[in-house]
Structure 1
């Protein structure tokens, strides 16, 4: 089984001082860096996904801004693939599926930001396309949300999405367990 790491949207706008900071993005990015290091050491393929909004009215991830840059903890190395997207689903409007197929990947390991949006959409799409999917839960982060007058803390948002994904779409593991498999 050949697997590839897909790093979704770990970008500066999601960190303190950015336009849309998440809950504990630093811890998630540190765990993502650990997994990235393990994939690099094993010579396994890595695909970076970068959300870029061309809309000049966008409140975050505006093309050309510091906020849309991939965070330094998981910055692409020379030769690593970087695909830009404009939708939550990393497969929509990109060459992600053909890239993974060309790499011979039948398993994708997904981590990144936001658990409740782009990670969720990407994982579900990968599963629907027939890939075996693993999500590194502690290398993902979510925002605090509000619905119907109820505030939902980011930790609860993240846990709910990981629980839903683990039900039918993916195997959900911590970074330390994944790094041990290399």
Structure 2
């Protein structure tokens, strides 16, 4: 029987308006993440938080030990919800994330957080490659404008391109409302 876990990726203070690396639509995405977090808690299902810290004094954001590197209050871990500390884009790289999933006999992962084009993309692809069934809640993820070859690509286009790519071969990509309705239907 399938057993799922919610993985919250890098919903940290520096991504919010007063932080060092603010994302487009981060408040709305965090609200959606908090909504699904509450649903997982109420259902007694596994929740794993992931947060990033850069090593070194020249970190552009998420500096080790800084307030900006802390989990945002909207999705703070509670009780025995583990927090995985990572130093790379991929949350599975040199962390205990896979071990935590295996200890809980998890087969399916639901992913929310930031940034769509980096850490969300990396963890989704890695999880799928490791054999997990993956669902991404697209409206509970955020990113920012990107520069490429002298052109600014708006955050909405960056986000859309990455969600389309993940939906093509790595994950089910749905809204938070769609996911929660489907969960309620099987409960």
- TM-score normalised by structure 2 residue count: 0.96
2:12 counterpart of 1:11: yes
> Which string of whole-angstrom CA distances, capped at 9 and with x for unpartnered residues, describes residues 6-27 of structure 1?
0000000001011000101000
**Equivalent position SS for 2:62:** coil
Q: Is 2:179 the partner of 1:178?
A: yes
What is the rounded CA distance, in whole Å, between the counterparts of 1:53 and 1:149 in structure 2?
27
Contact conserved, 1:34 with 1:179, CA < 8 A, in 2?
no
1:41 and 1:179 mapped to 2: Cα distance? Answer: 12
How far apart in 2 are the matches of 1:147 and 1:53? 23
RMSD: 0.7
1:62 & 1:13 partners in 2: Cα distance? 9
Deviations 1:75-128 (A, max 9, x none): 001110101000010000101111101111000000100000000000000000
- Residue deviations 1:28-60 (CA, integer Å, cap 9, x gap): 000000000000000000000010112111110
- Indicate the residue corresponding to 1:131 in structure 2: 132
Correspondence 1:105 to 2:106: yes
Over 6 Å off, 4+ runs: none
C-alpha separation in 2, matches of 1:90 and 1:143: 20
Instruction: Determine helix, strand or coil for the equivalent of 1:91.
Output: coil
Extract unaligned runs of 5+ from structure 1.
none
Q: 1:30 aligned to 2:31?
A: yes
> Is contact 1:76-1:82 (8 Å) kept?
yes
Which residue does 1:69 correspond to in 2?
70
Q: Does structure 2 conserve the Cα–Cα contact (< 8 Å) formed by 1:31 and 1:138? A: yes
For 1:120, the equivalent position in structure 2 comes to 121
Gapped regions of structure 2 (runs ≥ 5) = none
Please show how residues 68-87 of structure 1 align to structure 2 within 5 Å. 68-87=69-88
Counterpart Cα distance in 1 of 2:64 and 2:134: 29
| Cα distance in structure 2, aligned partners of 1:45 and 1:122 | 17
TM-score of the two chains, using structure 1 as the length reference: 0.98
Question: Does residue 56 of structure 1 match 2:66?
Answer: no
CA contact (8 A) 1:7 1:49 kept: yes
Q: 1:149 offset after TM fit, Å?
A: 1.0
Secondary structure of the structure 2 residue equivalent to 1:143? coil
